Each structure stands twice: as C-alpha cells, then as structure tokens.
C-alpha cells in the first residue's frame, strides 16, 4: 500500500468534514444537543460529519472496517480499520470555544499507518504516515528539545465521568503545577497530542480516553520523534485507555510523578 498517497487523500476528506463543521458552527442550534451519558454530549453536527467521513473513507478502502465515536456505522475489516472522531472537542464546539478537531487514523492489523488531525479553526492540518515524518501544512514537524519538567508546558484533561480516580488525579495536578512551567486543559485530546508533536507542549497525559480520541494524534507524536506509553510506561495505552505522550526527554520525570499517585 502507498501510505503517503492514502494520507494525501485522507487529508482532503478531513478538510471537507472540517469545512462542514466550520459552517455549522455559525448556525449551531443548541436545542439539538443529545446526551450519551453524564457530561457526554453529541450533536447533529458530530453525527453528520461522521457520516460524511465514513462515506468518503469507504470509497478509499472499501474493505476496511470502522471504529467510530458516534456509532453511525458498524463494519469490521480483516486487515484495515479506520478509527475516527468526527468532532473531538464537542463540548468546546457547543459552547462556542474555538478548539476542536477532526481525527482520522488508519490501522493495518494492530498498527497505525496513517494519522490525520485537522484543527479546524486554526486551519492546521497535522498528518503522518508509515515510513514518513510528521507534518503540519506540508512542513515537517518535530517534538521539542526541552529536557526538564521545570521548563515544560504540559497538557491534560479532566475526568468528566468515572470519578473514582479523581482524588489521585487532583494530587497529580497539584504536583505538576508546582513542578512544571505550566499546565493546560484545552478540551480536545487530539489537539493536545498534535501540539506535543509540533513542540508546543512537552507532554500530555489523561486517562479514560477512548481509542478515537488518541489513535491519530498518538501516531503523529511518534512519527515526530516523541514517545507514547500508558501510566506504567508500557506500550498498551490503546487498551488501558490511559496515555502519556511526551517529547521523549521528560518521560521519566512525569512517569515518576504519575507512579507516586497511581500505584
């Protein structure tokens, strides 16, 4: 398979979905919000964007399966699987906060081979493919070279359900606030990850994420020279749903802090 060619076509598909979301943002009707669970919202924009993505990606690889946030399709693939979040940062979108993204990953067997994240309001297209580097709007990107926690700007996310680990997490927040340069909560995991990939953040950590939240962004971080692991330092972040993505230079310091609070 020509991964670069596939990636180029996925970029166009992501941009089409992003353009639709941008147009809808100007006309958004908040009365059409639905709740999937506690603090877990979805809108007609998410669902329609996902349908558009599925239709176009199906034409690109007819035999591929899908893992999608809004469950608008149920298709299993033997070799290839698309993992997509049509609107990562739905809460931001609903409240008019301009940070949300389209996230698309292609997995071959159990390995990522293409990742595309389109940060809609900044018009920033981040992407990577197997055998290549990581890019932002055709320019190659790399993780930052800051090598201490004290000089690092970190990103995280706050739990909005399953609060059983909240006390440990708040203690970790407190430690990070004392020891790092700053801590940010943007509200879009896909955006947090691509910001690690291009050196805006030195690291991002969060738990209780879903596969579509990080599948594309984590791959882009890795192709940009960064590291991705779970809270134990292992590679199985995909199933444990806890993720630490770093520039590779501050991993040990952050894992040590995480271990202190998540034993």
pLDDT of residue 39 exceeding 50, the answer is no
Predicted confidence band of residue 167 (pLDDT cuts 50, 70, 90): confident
Q: How far apart are CA 93 and CA 25, in angstroms?
A: 7
Is the confidence at residue 103, as pLDDT, over 60? yes
138-149 burial string, b = 16+ CB within 10 Å, else e? eeebebbebeeb
**pLDDT tens digits, 204-241:** 999 889 999 999 999 999 999 999 999 999 999 988 88
pLDDT tens digits for range 151-163:
999 999 987 666 6
Which tops the pLDDT comparison, 72 or 99? 99
Q: What is the pLDDT of residue 262?
A: 77
Of the candidates 103, 67, 97, the one whose C-alpha atom is nearest the C-alpha of residue 82 is 67
User: HEC states along 94-116?
Assistant: HHCCCCCEEEEEEEECCEEEEEE
Please tell me the predicted confidence (pLDDT) of residue 18: 97
Q: For the chain, what percent of residues have pLDDT higher than 90?
A: 73
Dump pLDDT digits (tens) for 13-32. 999 999 999 998 888 766 66
Answer whether residue 165 shows pLDDT above 80: no
The mean-pLDDT minimum among 94-98, 99-103, 123-127 falls in: 94-98
Give me the mean pLDDT over the 239-245 stretch.
Answer: 91
- The pLDDT mean for the chain works out to 91
pLDDT bracket for residue 6 (50, 70, 90) = very high
- pLDDT tens, position by position, 40-73: 456 788 889 999 999 999 999 999 999 998 776 7
The confidence score (pLDDT) of residue 213 equals 94
**Does residue 36 register a pLDDT over 70?**
no
Instruction: Give the 3-state secondary structure of the chain.
Output: CCHHHHHHHHHHHHHHHHHHHHHHHCCCCHHHCEEEECCEEECHHHHHHHHHHHHHHHHHCCCCEEEECCCCCCCCCCCEEEEEEEEECHHHHHHCCCCCEEEEEEEECCEEEEEEEEECCCCEEEEEECCCCEEECCEEECCCCCCCHHHCEEEECCCCCCHHHHHHHHHHHHHHHHHCCEEECCCCHHHHHHHHHCCCCCEEEEECCCHHHHHHHHHHHHHCCCEEECCCCCCCHHHHCEEEEECCCCHHHHHHHHHHHCC
pLDDT in tens, 169-181: 889 989 999 999 9
- 67 to 18, 104, 105, 236: CA distances (angstroms): 19, 10, 10, 18
Token representation of residue 257: 């802090």
Check whether 263 has a pLDDT greater than 70: no
């Amino acid at each position: 398979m020509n991964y670069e060619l596939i990636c180029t076509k996925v970029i166009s598909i992501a941009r089409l979905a992003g353009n639709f979301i941008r147009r809808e943002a100007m006309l958004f009707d908040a009365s059409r919000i639905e709740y999937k669970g506690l603090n877990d919202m979805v809108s007609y924009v998410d669902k329609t964007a996902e349908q558009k993505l599925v239709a176009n990606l199906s034409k690109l690889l007819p035999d591929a399966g899908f893992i999608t946030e809004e469950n608008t399709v149920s298709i299993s693939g033997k070799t290839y699987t698309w993992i997509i979040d049509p609107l990562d940062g739905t809460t931001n979108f609903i409240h008019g906060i301009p940070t949300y993204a389209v996230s698309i990953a292609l997995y071959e067997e159990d390995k990522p081979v293409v990742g595309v994240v389109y940060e809609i309001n900044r018009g920033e297209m981040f992407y990577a493919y197997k055998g290549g580097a990581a890019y932002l709007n055709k320019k190659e990107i790399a993780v930052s070279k800051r090598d201490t926690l004290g000089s690092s700007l970190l990103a995280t996310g706050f739990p909005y359900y399953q609060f059983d680990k909240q006390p440990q997490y708040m203690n970790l927040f407190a430690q990070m606030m004392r020891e790092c340069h700053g801590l940010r909560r943007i509200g879009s995991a896909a955006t947090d990850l691509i910001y690690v990939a291009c050196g805006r953040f030195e690291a991002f950590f969060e738990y209780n994420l879903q596969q579509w939240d990080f599948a594309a962004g984590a791959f882009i971080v890795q192709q940009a020279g960064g590291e991705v692991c779970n809270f134990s330092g292992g590679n199985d972040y995909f199933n444990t749903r806890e993720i630490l993505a770093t520039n590779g230079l501050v991993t040990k310091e952050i894992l040590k802090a995480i271990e202190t609070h998540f034993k």
